[in-house]
């Protein structure tokens, strides 16, 4: 299965919903809390072009926001 | 079209829609609940402290528990966006973006609201690149940054406070009137050294290529414009109802679907509940109660129509 990384902040309700979804579906993922780590935030912005969370990467695909459909499609 | 005809189709799955679904299922009604997003606006809420039974719970967690309570006989749950709705031959058709047409005897509209947009150049293209509608999500990404907030109500002032809390350098608050937030909130920013307030002003453009680099603010009182170099723009100017696919239903000036105290709309067989309606006070607990009421009224309607059809067939 391709590596899934979720960029979050600790106060973000959509990030919580996304993590709940991935856990319910049994999709393992790495969480990067960009709110707590400015260097990680810069990396996320460079990699994804986004200054907003949640952002998910599935291998080299970037999925913006809470979008289970696109995550499912990227994993197929 | 899917083969089954539902007795009730619920469009939207926030607190109102999901509560309606539970009540319909428990009434034994063959029910569809269709929504692009189970949880709706409650998913945007960080902490809920006024839903009975919970001292404190995250909005998404509360909605996860609502959803967990739903599955059971007679209920079909579809995560899909409703894109069209019409009445046809005494029945109703709801068109799902992915799932196609669904047919039912009654409909409960519980589509909620969404953040209002400014509708200015740059807003769409820079969304997620500095333009945000969720300060609780994105404020931590603006540490040590110059940022602007649009909106002088509670949400706008709360966004300013969220940004100050994470260490934003300067926060510009642009509001088309004076600040209208509750005094307890407004007092916290009015003389704050890192906050500059632009009353009677509007953001007329957002600038930037890959990320936001600035905004243009029009100061209405002296009819001038000012460029502000900011990295972020948080838009907190209220909500608008998701009611566009129901043009035939009566609505008020805000576009909210008009309902009576039984959640009946202007169209027989169509009921509405929650924040999409003209009911005052948009709260999770009120939306849930309205969803329950709409389901009971829909059940009475379906039962009555069924009895009439049966007697006509004799």
pLDDT at B1 over 60: no
| Residue B305 banded pLDDT, cuts 50, 70, 90 | confident
A53 touches chain B (CB under 8 A): yes
Ordered by start, the domain boundaries in chain B are 5-115+239-313, 131-235
pLDDT attached to residue A67: 86
Nearest by CB to A34, from B60, B129, B141: name it.
Answer: B141
Strands A4-8 and A55-58: antiparallel
Residues of chain A positioned with their CB less than 8 A from the CB of B162: 11
pLDDT of residue B149: 98
Q: Which one of A9, A16, A17 makes the best mutation probe of the B interface by having the most chain B beta carbons within 10 Å?
A: A17
Tell if the CB–CB gap between A53 and B37 is shorter than 8 Å: no
Would you call B14 an interface residue with chain A, using a CB distance cutoff of 8 Å?
Answer: no
pLDDT tens profile A13-32 = 889 889 988 998 999 999 99
Q: Does the beta carbon of B216 lie under 8 angstroms from any beta carbon of chain A?
A: no
Structure tokens at B151: 């909106």
Q: Does A40 touch chain B (CB under 8 A)?
A: no
| Alpha-carbon gap, residue B231 to A14, rounded angstroms | 22
Greater confidence (B313 vs B235) lies with B235
Quote the pLDDT of residue A26.
Answer: 94
Give the count of domains, chain A.
Answer: 1
Quick one: closest CA in B to A43, which residue?
Answer: B141
Match domain B131-235 to its CATH number in 3.40.50.1010, 3.50.50.60, 3.30.830.10, 3.40.1280.10: 3.50.50.60
| B79:A35 CB<8 A | no
Nearest to A11 among B127, B136, B143 (CB): B136
Nearest to B149 by CA among B194, B184, B209: B194
User: Can you give the CATH number for the domain in which A60 is found?
Assistant: 3.40.30.10
**Phi, psi dihedrals of residue A34, rounded to the nearest 5°:** -80, -15
Distance CA B144, CA B140 (A): 10
Both tokens of B105, joined, read: 């005897």
Write down the pTM of the prediction. Answer: 0.81
Q: pLDDT tens digits, residue range B236-267?
A: 999 999 999 999 999 999 999 999 999 999 99
Report in angstroms the alpha-carbon separations of A1 from A5, A31, A65, B144, B162.
12, 16, 21, 38, 37
pLDDT digits (tens, 9 = 90+) for A36-64: 898 999 999 999 999 999 999 999 899 98
Please answer yes or no on whether B140 and A35 come within 8 Å at the CB atom: yes
Average pLDDT over residues B192-221: 96
Which residue in chain A has the smallest CA separation from B128? A52
The beta-strand segments (E) located in chain B are: 5-11, 31-35, 75-79, 82-88, 91-96, 100-109, 113-115, 131-132, 146-150, 170-174, 195-198, 201-208, 212-219, 224-228, 232-235, 239-241, 270-272
pLDDT score at B314: 60
- Distance between CA atoms of residues B139 and B232, nearest Å: 9
- Report the pLDDT value the prediction gives residue B112, as an integer from 0 to 100: 97
Q: Cβ(A24)–Cβ(B68) under 8 Å?
A: no
How would you classify the pairing of strands B100-109 and B232-235? unpaired
Length of chain B: 314
Q: Chain A closest CA to B285's CA: distance in Å?
A: 19
Residues of B in contact with A51 (CB under 8 A): 128-130, 132, 138, 141-142, 211-212, 231-232
Burial of B298 (0-12, 13-18, 19+ CB in 10 A): buried
Q: How far is CA B250 from the centre of its chain?
A: 19
Peptide bond into A54 cis (omega under 30): yes
Mean pLDDT confidence for B31-52: 89
How far apart CA B162 and CA B145 sit, in angstroms, is: 13
Residue of B105, B22, B57, B75 lying closest to B288 (CA atoms): B22
- Report the C-alpha gap between A74 and A54 in whole angstroms: 16
Encode pLDDT of B134-185 as tens digits: 898 899 999 999 999 999 999 899 999 999 999 999 999 999 999 999 999 9
ipTM of the complex: 0.85
**Residue A63 belongs to domain spanning:** 4-75
B310 pLDDT above the threshold of 70: no
Q: How would CATH label the architecture of B5-115+239-313?
A: 3-Layer(bba) Sandwich (3.50)
Statement: residue B220 has pLDDT above 80: yes
Query: CA-based angle B96:B100:B103, to the nearest 5?
Result: 85
Any alpha helices (H) in chain B, and if so which ranges?
15-26, 59-68, 135-138, 154-165, 183-186, 284-313
Q: How confident is the model at residue B47 (pLDDT cuts 50, 70, 90)?
A: confident
Q: CA-nearest residue of chain B to A39?
A: B141
Q: Does residue B123 sit in helix, strand or coil? A: coil
For residue B136, the model assigns a pLDDT of 86
User: Angle formed by the axes of helices B284-313 and B15-26, to 10°?
Assistant: 40
pLDDT of residue A17: 86
Identify whether the C-beta of residue B165 lies closer than 8 Å to the C-beta of residue B138. Answer: no
């Amino acid at each position: 299965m391709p590596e899934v990384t979720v960029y979050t902040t600790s106060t973000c309700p959509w990030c919580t919903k996304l993590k709940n979804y991935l856990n319910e579906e049994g999709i393992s993922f790495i969480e990067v809390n960009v709110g707590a780590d400015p260097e990680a935030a810069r990396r996320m912005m460079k990699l994804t072009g986004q200054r907003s969370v949640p952002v998910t990467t599935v291998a080299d695909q970037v999925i913006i926001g809470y979008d289970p459909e696109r995550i499912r499609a990227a994993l197929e | 079209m899917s083969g089954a005809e539902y007795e009730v189709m619920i469009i939207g799955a926030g607190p109102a829609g999901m509560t309606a679904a539970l009540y319909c299922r428990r009434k034994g009604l063959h029910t569809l609940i269709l929504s692009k997003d189970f949880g709706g606006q409650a998913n945007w809420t960080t902490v809920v402290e006024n839903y009975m039974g919970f001292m404190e719970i995250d909005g998404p967690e509360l909605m996860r528990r609502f959803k967990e309570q739903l599955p059971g006989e007679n209920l079909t749950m579809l995560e899909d966006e409703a894109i069209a709705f019409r009445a046809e031959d005494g029945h109703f058709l709801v068109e799902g973006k992915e799932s196609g047409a669904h047919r039912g005897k009654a409909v409960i509209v519980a589509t909620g609201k969404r953040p209002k947009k400014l509708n200015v150049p740059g807003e769409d293209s820079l969304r997620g690149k500095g333009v945000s509608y969720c300060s609780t999500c994105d404020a931590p990404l603006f540490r040590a940054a110059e940022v602007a907030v649009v909106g002088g109500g509670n949400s706008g002032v709360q966004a300013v406070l969220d940004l100050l809390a994470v260490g934003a350098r300067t926060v510009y608050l642009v509001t088309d009137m004076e600040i209208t937030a509750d005094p307890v909130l407004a007092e916290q920013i009015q003389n704050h050294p890192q906050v500059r307030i632009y009353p009677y002003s509007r953001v007329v453009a957002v600038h930037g290529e890959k990320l936001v680099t600035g905004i243009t603010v029009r100061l209405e009182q002296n009819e001038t414009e000012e460029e502000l170099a900011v990295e972020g723009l948080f838009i907190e100017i209220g909500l608008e109802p998701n009611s566009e696919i129901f043009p035939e239903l009566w609505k008020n000036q805000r576009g909210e679907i008009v309902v009576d105290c039984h959640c009946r709309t202007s169209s027989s067989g169509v009921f509405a509940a929650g924040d999409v309606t003209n009911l005052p006070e948009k709260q999770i607990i009120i939306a849930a109660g309205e969803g329950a009421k709409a389901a009971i009224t829909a059940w009475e309607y379906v039962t009555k129509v069924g009895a009439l059809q049966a007697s006509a067939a004799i």
